[in-house]
Each structure stands twice: as C-alpha cells, then as structure tokens.
Amino acid sequence: MGRRKLTSFRVELSLQPTLYSVIFFSLLAIVLAFACGSIIFLFYHISPWIAYQTFFRGAFGSWYAFSETLKRTIPLLLVGEGLALAFRAQVLNIGAEGQILLGAVAATWVALFSGLPSFLLLPTMFLLGFLAGAGWALIPAFFKTRFAVNEVLSTLMLNYVASNLVLYLIGGPWKGKGVRGFTYTDTFPEAAWLKTMGITRVPYFTLLTGIVLAVGGYIFLKKSALGFEFRIVGNSSETAKLLGISEEKIVLFAMFLSGGLAGFAGVGEVAGIHHLLRHPDHISLGYGYTAIIVAWLARANPLATIFTSFLFGALLSGGDALRVSLGIPFQVVSVFNGLILFFLISTERLSRYRIIWGEEKAVERSGS
Amino acid sequence: MAVVEKKEKNSKEGKTVEVAFRSITKRFSPDILANDRVSFEVEKGTVHALLGENGAGKTTLMNILYGLFPPDEGEIIIRGMPTKISSPREAINLGIGMVHQHFKLISTHTVSENIILGLASTPFFFPAEKAESEIRFLSERYGLKIDPRARIWQLSAGEKQKVEILKALYRRAEILVLDEPTSVLTPQEAEELFATLRLMKEEGKTCIFITHKLNEVKEIADAVTVMRRGKVISTILPSSVSLEELARMTVGKEVISVVPRKTVSGKIILQLQKVSAMGDREIPALSKLSLTVREGEIVGVAGVAGNGQKELAEVIVGLRQATEGHVFLQDKEITNLPPRDIASLGVAYIPEERHMGLVGEMSVAENLLLRGYSRPPFSQGFWVDWEKAEAYSEKLISNYHINPPIADIPVRLLSGGNRQRVIIARELERKPKLVIASNPTAGLDVSGVEAIHELLVKAQEEGAGILLISGDLDELLKLSNRIVIMFKGEIVGEKEKEHWTEEDRREIGLGMGGVRI
C-alpha cells in the first residue's frame, strides 16, 4: 500500500444520539432535500445554481429580504414553540392552522366591532385572540380526554371548519363596506395596527414575544414541576398513571397553550401585516402546518424553534423570490418542506449511529 | 480454521456439538467489555445452563447468537459450520429460537397471530386460522397449555412465556435460548417449564438456559457454563460441584444469608376488609379479601402468578378500583383514593413491571425525583429546585450503590438490577409507613437480590409495614414474619413463624395449589 494513507472507519450503534450527530444529520437532511429539489428546477429548465442563488438572495440578500424572512419567522416561531410543548407531552395538535385563523377572527372582531377605546384595542385583541385559539384547541382536547377521540384527526378536521368560518365572515356579515366585489373586511383603525421595525413589515412586539416565550417554554419544560409532568406523560403514560399524574390535565393544558399561541400568532398576522381579515390562505400561508415541521426539526425543544422557525421563514421568503423572479409556482416551496421533512425522518435513525474514523484494527487489516 | 480443528478434540466420542462459541469478544464502548474471549460448546440434546450475575455478559452473548448484533471478534460454529449470523431471521433459519427476558409480543393480537407473525408462509387472509391446529398440537405435545385465540394482554407472564416458546417451536427451532425464563414464573410454573424442556431434550433439541438461580442449574442442566464479568469462568457438569461452589464461581465471594424473623405485634398499618376487585379481563380478581399488615412486619403473599396478587397491589396503591370493601391505612380509609394521595400518605410501591416505575428516557436524577418533584423541599409550587434535586440524587446514587454512578444518563441504559435500585431508592427514601413490593427481585442476580433484601429489612427495622408479593417462595421464607397464601383472589391460608421449616414450605406449596391449610 506504500505511503498512501488509508482512511478507514467503522460505524457503530451508540446508545444515545449525541447533540453533534443530531445537528449533523439534520443539516445533512436539509442538504439532501436541496439536492433533490434541484431536479424540480431542471424540469422547469432553470439551472439549480441560479435557482438557489435567487433563493438565497430572496431570503438574506438584502435588508428587505431579511425582513421578509423575519416576517414569516414570527408566526412560525409562535406556533412552533407551542407545538413543541404539546409534542413533548405526546399531544399531537395538527390544528394550529385553524387556531391561527380563530385568533385572527377574534382580533378582527375586537378591532372592528367591539367599540373599545383605542388604547385597549391591541391588548384585548391579543388576549381574546389567544383565548380563541386556545378554545378552538380545547374542543378536540375535550373529546380526546372524555371519549378518547384521536386528536390528530379532530384537530385536522377543525382546520377546515375554521377556514370556512373565515370565508363565511368575510363574504357575509363582516364583508367590508367599501370593498365592492372583493371579499375582505374593512381595514382596522390604526390604533389596532402593530408597530413595525422601521420601514419593514416586521412587528417587533410579536417577534420579541416569540423569542421570550421560546426561552420561557424551554425553562418551563426543564425547570418547572408542570413541565416535568409534560415530559413524564409524553414519555410514559403508564408511569404517569402510577404516579397519579392526571393525563387529562396535561392534555388540556398542552392543547390550551399550543392553541393559544397559534391564536396569538393569528392576531399578529392581521394586526401587524394585513390590517384586515381576508382569505384564509392569505392570512396564514400554511404556517400552522409548517410549524409542525418547525417543532419536529427542533426535536420539540422550544428554544431550538428559534432557529428552525428562522430556517423555514427563509425557505418561505426565498420561495417567494423564486416565484417572482423565475416564475416557479409557489407550491414548489411546499415540495421543499415536504422533502426536508422526508429526509429528516429518514435520517432520524442514523443519528443514533456513530462513525469512528481511523480505527486501528481496520488499518492493520488493510496493511497486511 | 486451524483454531477450529485444534478445539474439535474437546467434543468426545458419540457426542455432537450443536453450538460452539469461539473466542467471542464484544465491546460496547471503550470501557464496557461485555464479552471477553468467550469460548464453550453446547452439546446436542442437552440443557446447557449459562450462569452468572447481571452484567456477566450472558444476554449479550445470546443476542450475538440470535443475530441481534455481530461480535467484534470470534466466531460461532453451528453443527460444525462456522456461521455468520447477521440477523434474527438468519438465526431462525438456522433453527435458533429465543425467548427474551422481556417478551416480544403484540399485546392486542391473539396468541396464534403472534406465533405466525412474520412467517413467509402466512396467508394474506385469515392468517391465524390455518395455524391454530398446529399450535394446539404443539401445545399438547409439550405441555404448553394455552388458548390460541386469547389475546396477549389477557395473559399472565407465565402464559406469555409459553407463547414465546410455542413461537420458537412453530418455527422448528432446534436450539432454544431462554433468557432467565423462571424469573417471571412461580415454582409450579417453573416445574412445568422444566417438564417442557425435558420433553424437548428427548427429541434431541438443545436448550441454552440463562439463569442466576443455582438450584435450577442443579435441577435441569446437563452442563453449566459460569460467566463473570464477560469471561467464562468454567464449563462443568452440575453434578460435579456443590451449590456453594457454584455460588462462589458466579459471584466470586461467599453469599451471606439474612437473620431469623421474629413475630411482630406492632400497630396495624394496613387493613383490608372484604375487598373485591375486577381483573383486566373483567372477571373478578379479588373476592372479599381481608388482610392486615402491622408496623415493622413483613407479610409475604405467596401464590401462583395470576391469582390476584397484581390486583391486590394495585387496589392498595389506588391504581385499580375496589368494587366493594374497605382499605385502611392506620385509621384513615384510603379505598379508591387517587394514587398520588395514597402515595403521599406514606405508601411506597415497587411495581411488578419495572418499566412502569421508571421513565426510560429520563435521567437517573429525574427518575429519583418522580415522587418528590412537586413537594418541598424540591418544589414550593411551580418550580423544581434542580440543584437540590441533583445533590439529592447524588446522595441516593451513593447510598443505594446505583451503578454507573452518573446522575444524568437516561435510566434505560442501566442494567435491570440498577434500575430496580433506582425505584427502591426513590420509594424507600421517603420513609414510608407501608411498602408494597411486587416481585422486587425478579430477574436480579445474587448480589442484587441480597442488596434489595437488605434494603427491605432495613425499612422494616425502621418501622415500615411491608407487603411482599413474590413468586419466589425462598424469598418469602427468608424475609417474612407471616405468610399468606393467595388462590383465586382469596386468602386460603396464613402462617406465622420465627423459623420456617421444610414442612412449612411444603404446606405453603400445597396452599398455592389450592389446598386449604
């Protein structure tokens, strides 16, 4: 073999995935998703290189691009951290999309029809928005705790109900007076608008709240007695039963928190960006679904949702740039999300393996 | 190959070697050498015991044989052929069957569905029906009485084991590996198992029997390989050594027995008055059962598994509803109170199923805190004082000799004995008035059993009343002041003694079989 140095390695199942292997394989999944995504661009006769350039310019290329990324990060962060809490307790809330819309509906009612004095508008919008999202999530929670109805199905189905509720309101009783043929409400009074950072469309109140709550959620899980119960129920409902922890209480609370945060995010969208209630697809861009991936990628760790929501925020705004500059349908971005999730799940098992480089015995064997 | 020929002379005239292990080495991490150059041979048509403490490497070796993971070095020779077994399927094709310590059955499926699961010959529609007659035939032939249509969750541990054995037999296993099979069995069930093994032996099948019970080795094994810390100490004929010698080989030191018991006349801690309850199968499991436990007393509950012992424990700790009757803790009625309230009144519970008492993914420190996290001194309400908890768990880890002594590794990485120590540390450190212990030493090695017995006796000396439910009569005779015998949800006999004799043992055995004493 001469002087050529052989790099040999051995793969071994480790008992516990390390932080590095989790990060490594998560990044690998994203890289693989991008590689697969290239194939789609080739179908559109666009060089993947140019496509990804456009993509990154659209997500980070300028202050404007960066602010667009942040704008999308906020709802993902708020919803994602709530879902992370729920997933930790094995409560599979798939209904954040509908909970966002309910928050938006509640906020619209406050802004347009409550007749509250201006200075009370925003606080009431956020409070009622939170409660509306939470209340919407408590419906499936009730059926789960009382009749053992699978929450995946019930939360998912309620999304359609919420979506149709919004369509009904904007086309019927809440249809704006000055909007003629369009279906949306009147614009909110300015007192019900969230302040944004400079000339961007990034409301700093929701951004800061999102970050604070991510840290708070992390501390809650790690340090509080209730957070400890969340983790016990999520890991072993049998042990929880033996200890006398009320699983019902945990399910209700997890739904309340995750639904509430989604509702809160919905308020942020209408009060910070749209300033009116409009078609559900424009209010939420599928944030409720994308946030599931955000929470998953963060391994249900609220603190990590800060990074993962930013990643998906970038994905959405980069996708927007693709659509505008290259004429690629927006759905391609959804394909990306799907690919990333697909590779994440596929590489999940791998993160339990450990690669050991340059193992001595292998070198000996290759030398003989 | 040279190695093989050199060793072949060990197998003498007329005897065929079914399995030979040649210098098997398995390292899990740089520090853990699970198997260290393990070599021995198993003859065809014998029961070969593999004796050793927990962590001696027995299960690792058998998992290698079953293809669950490859050895780092060495080879396995089956019927004279060096074989590389890289998956359980290959092992099954080689005629190897394995009954794991923790059963691999799907609890919502029926017995026959579990048995045929994964077989290529299984038809797509109504898969279980075809197999039923053969399963009935096999269970007749080997004395493994079981209803092929029963669902797994309805079965007792002993019955589940029968299903596992049937599963292996159905797959035409020639070599059956049993990992501590008697740890879940009562003496009677163990006898039944031994009868099955003898039948299999007569047909030329080979059994490898992992155990740490010395008298079982004497009773059933034709040969025994003793392992300690990953190494083979010796392979010998059980008849050629005494129990004491075997014990010394396994643990490497003399085993000490515990003090004689004396009768106790303290205050009554636990009183059950005509308690009835339903079992999982919605049939009555306890019928008008009355029982008392006094301060500083160990009351042993003897009985064949499945006679209501599990339900008895669950009713007392609040996990199962009593349908009639009353349960008193001292003077307070605790009938059907929530489990947490009963626990906080001073009732400790060591459950039969260890995984129920622990959260595998959580750290040792967190598991030690499962009872105390919401109360002072660890919590004043909302927050948990993890610094205090950390110090507390360090203390418990060293007091109860939990190994490895690391507070922040997931508890699932610990061995069975050490996981049980975590549970016992957590439960006994609360200084309970009453301890309900269900088979607390099941599956533990000699020194693990000793340690847990000592801890129970210590709790007793500190004044706790202990209800010890055990399928191991020797354990009950060793520890109990009083023994009650359960049969079909009732107490059919009771004995109180300072010194238990062989005569008592025989009588209790009869009582467990349903004879009133």
pLDDT digits (tens, 9 = 90+) for A268-284: 999 999 999 999 999 99
Torsion of CA B257, B262, B265, B270, to 10 degrees: 30
What whole-number distance in Å separates Cα of residue A8 and Cα of residue A27?
Answer: 24
SS3 B417: helix
Q: Do B359 and A244 touch (CB under 8 A)?
A: no
Using an 8 Å CB-CB cutoff, list residues of chain B that contact chain A. Answer: 28-29, 69, 317-319, 338-343, 349, 351, 355-362, 366, 369-371, 373-374, 379, 381-384, 386, 409-410, 413
Q: Are residues B233 and B314 in the same domain?
A: no
What whole-number distance in Å separates Cα of residue A355 and Cα of residue A20?
Answer: 12
Query: Interior CA angle at A105 toward A100 and A111, to 5°?
Result: 125
| Chain A CB contacts of B338 below 8 Å | 244
Residue A86 has which token pair? 């729920």
Query: Interior CA angle at B215 toward B48 and B46, to 5°?
Result: 20
Q: Are residues B118 and B50 in the same domain?
A: no
The chain A residue lying nearest B374, using CA atoms, is: A225
Q: Do A225 and B356 touch (CB under 8 A)?
A: no
One-letter amino acid identity for B387?
E
pLDDT at A240: 93
| Chain A CB contacts of B342 below 8 Å | 244
Say if CB B498 and CB B262 are below 8 A apart: yes
**Residue to test with chain A: of B60, B383, B386, most A Cβ within 10 A:** B383
> What is the count of structural domains for chain B?
4
Pairing mode, strands B32-43 and B96-99: unpaired
What whole-number distance in Å separates Cα of residue A322 and Cα of residue A53?
Answer: 9
Q: Are residues B178 and B167 in the same domain?
A: no
Q: Are residues B286 and B137 in the same domain?
A: no
H or E segment to which residue B456 belongs: helix B446-461
Say if CB A184 and CB A112 are below 8 A apart: no
Domain boundary among B116, B145, B172: B172
pTM (global) more than 0.95: no
**Residue to test with chain B: of A90, A228, A352, A364, most B Cβ within 10 A:** A228
SS3 B228: strand
Residue A184 lies in a domain: yes
Residue B101 lies in a domain: no
Say if CB A306 and CB A214 are below 8 A apart: yes
SS3 B14: coil
Q: Are residues B319 and B424 in the same domain?
A: no
Residue B262 lies in a domain: no
Q: For chain A, how long is the longest CA-to-CA vector?
A: 87
DSSP single-letter state for residue B363: B
Q: Are residues B1 and B89 in the same domain?
A: yes
In A, residues 49-88, which contact B (CB 8 Å cutoff)? none
Say if CB B417 and CB B251 are below 8 A apart: no
pLDDT at A336: 75
Say if CB B342 and CB B317 are below 8 A apart: yes
Q: Helix, strand, coil proportions of chain B in percent (round to 5)?
A: 35, 25, 40
Domain boundary among B429, B455, B482: B429
Q: Are residues B90 and B184 in the same domain?
A: yes
CA A164, A167, A170, A173 dihedral sign is negative
What whole-number distance in Å separates Cα of residue B288 and Cα of residue B264?
Answer: 25
The chain A residue lying nearest B373, using CA atoms, is: A225
Residue A10 has which token pair? 């051995």
What whole-number distance in Å separates Cα of residue B218 and Cα of residue B220?
Answer: 6
Strands (E), B164-283: 175-179, 206-211, 223-228, 231-236, 268-278
| Chain B CB contacts of A231 below 8 Å | 359, 362
Of the candidates A15, A226, A242, the beta carbon closest to that of B319 is on A242
Residue A53 lies in a domain: no
What whole-number distance in Å separates Cα of residue A58 and Cα of residue A336?
Answer: 15
By residue count, chain A amounts to: 368
Interface contact A19, partner B, CB < 8 A: no
Three-state SS sequence of chain A: CCCCCCCCEEEEECCCCCHHHHHHHHHHHHHHHHHHHHHHHHHCCCCHHHHHHHHHHHHHCCHHHHHHHHHHHHHHHHHHHHHHHHHHCCCCCCCHHHHHHHHHHHHHHHHHHCCCCHHHHHHHHHHHHHHHHHHHHHHHHHHHHHHCCCHHHHHHHHHHHHHHHHHHHHHCCCCCCCCCCCCCCCCCCHHHCCCECCCCCCEHHHHHHHHHHHHHHHHHHHHEHHHHHHHHHHHCHHHHHHHCCCHHHHHHHHHHHHHHHHHHHHHHHHHHHHCCCCCHHHHHCCHHHHHHHHHHHCCCCHHHHHHHHHHHHHHHHHHHHHHHHHCCCCHHHHHHHHHHHHHHHHHHHHHHEEEEECCHHHHHHHHC
CATH number, domain with residue B245: 3.40.50.300
pLDDT at B281: 66
pLDDT at A356: 64
Backbone torsion region of residue B267, taken as left when φ is above 0, otherwise alpha when ψ lies between -120 and 50, otherwise beta: beta
The dihedrals phi and psi of B141, each to the nearest 5 degrees, come to -65, -35
Residue A128 lies in a domain: yes
What whole-number distance in Å separates Cα of residue A278 and Cα of residue A111?
Answer: 14
- Nearest-10 crossing angle of helices B157-170, B127-141: 100
Residue A68 has which token pair? 């667009």
pLDDT at B259: 54
Residue B260 lies in a domain: no
What whole-number distance in Å separates Cα of residue B516 and Cα of residue A348?
Answer: 58
Domain residues for B385? 356-429
* Segments of chain A with pLDDT less than 70: 1-17, 352, 354-368
Q: Are residues B373 and B230 in the same domain?
A: no
Interface contact A15, partner B, CB < 8 A: yes
In A, residues 232-251, which contact B (CB 8 Å cutoff)? 232, 235-236, 238-239, 241-245
Residue B100 lies in a domain: no
What whole-number distance in Å separates Cα of residue A44 and Cα of residue B421?
Answer: 63
The dihedrals phi and psi of B117, each to the nearest 5 degrees, come to -55, 130
Query: Interior CA angle at B122 toward B117 and B128, to 5°?
Result: 70
- Provide the residue-wise pLDDT of chain B in tens; the chain has 517 residues: 444 444 444 444 567 899 999 999 998 766 668 899 999 999 999 999 998 876 688 888 999 999 988 999 999 999 999 998 989 989 999 999 999 877 889 988 889 888 888 777 766 676 667 788 888 888 888 888 888 888 998 888 888 999 999 999 998 899 999 988 886 777 778 888 999 999 999 999 999 999 877 778 888 999 999 998 788 999 999 989 887 788 778 766 544 444 556 666 788 999 999 999 998 867 788 999 999 999 999 999 988 777 889 999 999 999 999 999 999 999 999 999 999 999 999 999 999 888 889 998 899 999 999 998 888 888 888 898 888 999 999 999 999 888 888 888 889 888 888 899 999 999 999 899 999 999 998 777 777 888 889 999 999 988 999 999 987 777 888 889 899 999 888 998 888 877 777 677 777 777 776 666 5
SS3 B259: coil
Q: Are residues B83 and B115 in the same domain?
A: no
Q: Are residues B409 and B467 in the same domain?
A: no
Q: Are residues B397 and B503 in the same domain?
A: no
Residue B24 lies in a domain: yes
Beta-bridged to residue B26, according to DSSP, are: B35
Residue A113 lies in a domain: yes
b/e B39-66 (16+ beta carbons within 10 angstroms → b) = bbbbbbbbbbbbbbbbbbbbbbbbbbbb
SS3 B205: coil
Q: How many CA atoms lie within 13 A of B364 on its CB side?
A: 29
> What is the count of structural domains for chain A?
1
Among B132, B161, B168, smallest CA distance to B306 is for B161
Among B161, B160, B143, B185, smallest CA distance to B109 is for B160
Please state whether the peptide bond connecting residue B404 to the residue before it is cis, i.e. omega within 30 degrees of 0. yes
Alpha-helical segments (H) within B299-385: 309-317, 339-344, 354-357, 364-368
Domain boundary among B409, B429, B449: B429
pLDDT at B339: 92
SS3 B285: strand
pLDDT at A328: 82
- Residue A168, classified by CB atoms within 10 Å of its CB into exposed (0-12), middle (13-18) or buried (19+), is exposed
Of the candidates A13, A15, A244, the beta carbon closest to that of B338 is on A244
Please state whether the peptide bond connecting residue B377 to the residue before it is cis, i.e. omega within 30 degrees of 0. yes
pLDDT at B211: 84
What whole-number distance in Å separates Cα of residue B353 and Cα of residue A129?
Answer: 45
Query: Cβ neighbours of residue A299 under 8 Å, at least 6 residues apart?
Result: A22
pLDDT tens digits, residue range A172-224? 899 988 777 788 999 999 999 999 887 888 898 999 999 999 999 999 999 99
One-letter amino acid identity for B441?
T
Domain residues for A272? 74-297
ipTM reported for the complex surpasses 0.90: no
Q: Are residues B332 and B392 in the same domain?
A: no
Q: Do B340 and A224 touch (CB under 8 A)?
A: no
What whole-number distance in Å separates Cα of residue B386 and Cα of residue A167?
Answer: 49
Task: State the smallest CA–CA distance between residue A282 and chain B in angstroms.
Answer: 40
| Residue tagged 């992992």 (tokens) | B210
